[in-house]
Structure 1
Amino acid sequence: MEIQLDFFGGKAAVEEARALDHRYYFTLVPPPALAQKMERGARMLALRHGVRKVVRAERQHVSLHIVEKGREIAGDLLDDALEIGNTIRRPGFEMAFDMVRTFGAKRSRGGVRAQYPIVLTCSNGARDAKAIYADIRQQMQRFGLSVGPRSMEPHLTIWYGPGKVPDLILRRPFRWPVRSFWLVHTLPGMRRPEYLAEWPLSR
């Protein structure tokens, strides 16, 4: 019976898919109290659009640059990522997320209905976050690693849903002083990221 279950995509197949979904990336992380406020605000807004599941406070982040996607990271690649983090020299700054937007839809596995990332974007702090991204990207190139696009748009995903939402300017932006960045590891089913390293930004 177990053999048939595995053949048709049962427990073993699920575990194999999960093993291929590791993510290692540099990121900015909001303070816990602010993350909880953003989760509450996201829940209130999501209910207006018929969405009940939002990104939990402990999973909220602003991605900077992916390091590895797939299986668990190799030791030499992890060493390179830690060394890259050590090279970044940037001052601290403030981020103010003041707009809700919809990004392009991503189709889930197995032909499931497309899901739209609903995100917070910022008018204040975007340039500084982009500068850190550019520095990390440059160092990854120097180490001979795969890199992302030349630029990115800083954002914080608050939920994934089946439909778009209109752009919304927030009367009270979510602000925080960014004083460090992180290297984290995530995997489906993890309640919170695994924080592998933190690097302070100068004041």
Structure 2
Amino acid sequence: MSAPKPTRPTDSLFLAVYPDAAAASRIRDEAARIRIEHGLRATPIPADRLHITLHYLGAFAGLPADTIEQARAAASSVAMPPFDVTLDRIESFASRRPKHPLVIAGDPDEAFSAFVDTLGEALQTAGIFVKSHPRFIPHVTVLYDEHRVARQSIAPIEWTVREFALVHSLLGRSQHEVLFRWPLGS
């Protein structure tokens, strides 16, 4: 007799890009500075989990093999060149939860926006519904805290995105596992 499937979501899937080592270090430094400056108590997110979510694919009770295969097919069909990311501000995003995400954000350039749109269209074609955002704001969440931090400029943090990934998040366990990575062509 097999174990019953969980009924509550235990896993989520999303497509993301990760900062390179130098950018991740700068992001962590900014988070530490703001945390001290504003007396925030929350623990910063570990460097290996810092990312920009491109498309959230949903929360599931277990890992859905069909969704993974659809996402894999969609992502494999995207052929675009590397592009640059610039994050130049820090702020707390609004949230219905008691803790607000503190993010380091920026505005996407044309190449980044085109990449997100192309990937979204490929997912839709593969049969995965993705929420389209009227204005995609690239951001890296660095911690969650009860206190909000007003938007403020920071020295730009830049890197070139050379790959993207399908990520499995184990809900409630603060763990991410990269399932697949795709390089961007030159």
Gaps of 5+ in 1: 1-15, 108-113
Of 59, 64, 69, 2:49 maps to 59
Q: How far apart are residue 49 of structure 1 and its match?
A: 1.6
Hey, which of these two has a bigger chunk of helix by percent? 1
Aligned counterparts of 1:127 and 1:101: Cα–Cα separation in 2: 23
- Indicate the larger mover: 64-73 or 172-181: 64-73
Aligned counterparts of 1:116 and 1:135: Cα–Cα separation in 2: 30
| Compared CA separation, residues 75 and 59, structure 1 to 2 (3 A) | same
Of 160, 170, 173, 2:144 maps to 160
Instruction: Name which structure has the greater RCO, CA cutoff 8 Å, separation 6+.
Output: 2
Q: Is contact 1:23-1:68 (8 Å) kept?
A: yes
- Percent identity, please: 25
Aligned counterparts of 1:162 and 1:22: Cα–Cα separation in 2: 25
| Matching of residues 30-45 of structure 1 within 5 Å | 30-45=19-34
* Alignment: residue pair count: 178
Q: Is contact 1:96-1:122 (8 Å) kept?
A: yes
Is 1:98 equivalent to 2:81 in the alignment?
no
Task: State the Cα deviation string for residues 126-177 of structure 1 (Å, max 9, x = none).
Answer: 433322221122122222222112442211111111122121111x211111
Aligned counterparts of 2:86 and 2:18: Cα–Cα separation in 1: 13
In structure 1, the residue matched to 2:110 is 127
Aligned counterparts of 1:201 and 1:153: Cα–Cα separation in 2: 21
Q: Is contact 2:70-2:127 (8 Å) kept?
A: no
Question: What is the TM-score with the length of structure 2 in the denominator?
Answer: 0.86
The runs of 4+ residues in structure 1 deviating greater than 6 Å are none
In structure 2, the residue matched to 1:20 is 9
Is 1:80 equivalent to 2:70 in the alignment?
yes
In structure 2, the residue matched to 1:9 is none
Aligned-pair Cα RMSD in Å? 2.0
Q: Is contact 2:84-2:158 (8 Å) kept?
A: yes
